Amino acid sequence: MLRRFILFGTTLGVLLAFSAAAKAQEWEAYRREVTLQGTGFFTKNSDGNGISRTTTDTGGFLGGFRYRFSPWVAVEGNYGYARNTQNFLTPARAYGVQADTHQITGAFVLTPPVSVAKLRPYILAGTGALIFDPTDNNQGDIVNLTDTQSKAVFVYGGGVDYDLVRHVSLKLEYRGLVFKSPDFDFKSLDLDTVTHVAQPSAGITIRF
């Protein structure tokens, strides 16, 4: 009986060791990931300094590159784009600023050591910049506004990857962006407040 127990324990240990080695080889073979996602871009309405601002909901895209240091820890860099219109109501008059928003961020990514039915969840946090580039389609006495403005941004979020085939997975993600409301260097639009963008997304990841 003792010999059988020892044999069973030894066999189980060997199988677990081979399984761990296989998983290690698997993640080492797929350290790099490239992702392209379609996104929503929903900005919270804000008030400050007697000014109210509402923003049109819109969509955009987000592209990224992720590099894994281990099965659980990675870093990523992302570029995103969206266009919307910010409407300001001041005591004097109303203004509207349409702008392209460029998102440049970097983040740490933590992938818990769990996987259920090909689903791999993760969380992320990082920082970067939002660059607001006004178009010519503005309202009020700022129709010729052309200066870009950058705002530091804190990004947080999480998501899940679903493995479709060996090198390709479907990505569902939520990112929150926290930053100071832009005023486009126009004093009448200065809310002096922090705002938030909700950015849900879905896309494809290629691992290599």
User: In tens digits, what is the pLDDT along the chain, a chain of 208 residues?
Assistant: 555 546 545 554 443 344 444 454 566 778 999 999 999 999 999 999 999 999 999 999 999 999 999 989 999 999 999 999 999 999 989 999 999 999 999 999 999 987 788 899 999 999 999 999 998 777 766 655 667 999 999 999 999 999 999 899 999 999 999 999 999 888 889 999 999 999 999 999 999 9
Q: Six-digit token pair at 112? A: 């818990």
Give the helix/strand (H/E) hosting 15. Answer: helix 2-29
Domain ranges for the chain: 1-30, 31-207
> What sign does the dihedral 39-182-177-105 (CA atoms) show?
positive
- What does the angle CA 194 – CA 195 – CA 198 come to, to the nearest 5 degrees? 150
Name residues whose C-beta falls within 8 Å of residue 189's C-beta, 6 or more positions apart in sequence.
51, 53, 88, 90, 95, 97, 182, 183
Q: Six-digit token pair at 74? A: 């990675």
Name the pTM for this structure.
0.85
- Lookup result for tokens 């992702």: 35
The number of angstroms, rounded, from the C-alpha of 52 to the middle of its chain's C-alpha atoms is 27
> What sign does the dihedral 150-133-33-204 (CA atoms) show?
positive
Query: Which of 203, 149, 134, 150 is closest to 175 using CA atoms?
Result: 203
16 close to 24: Cβ distance less than 8 angstroms? no
Neighbour count for residue 185 (Cβ, 10 Å)? 11
**Range 31-207: architecture per CATH:** Beta Barrel (2.40)
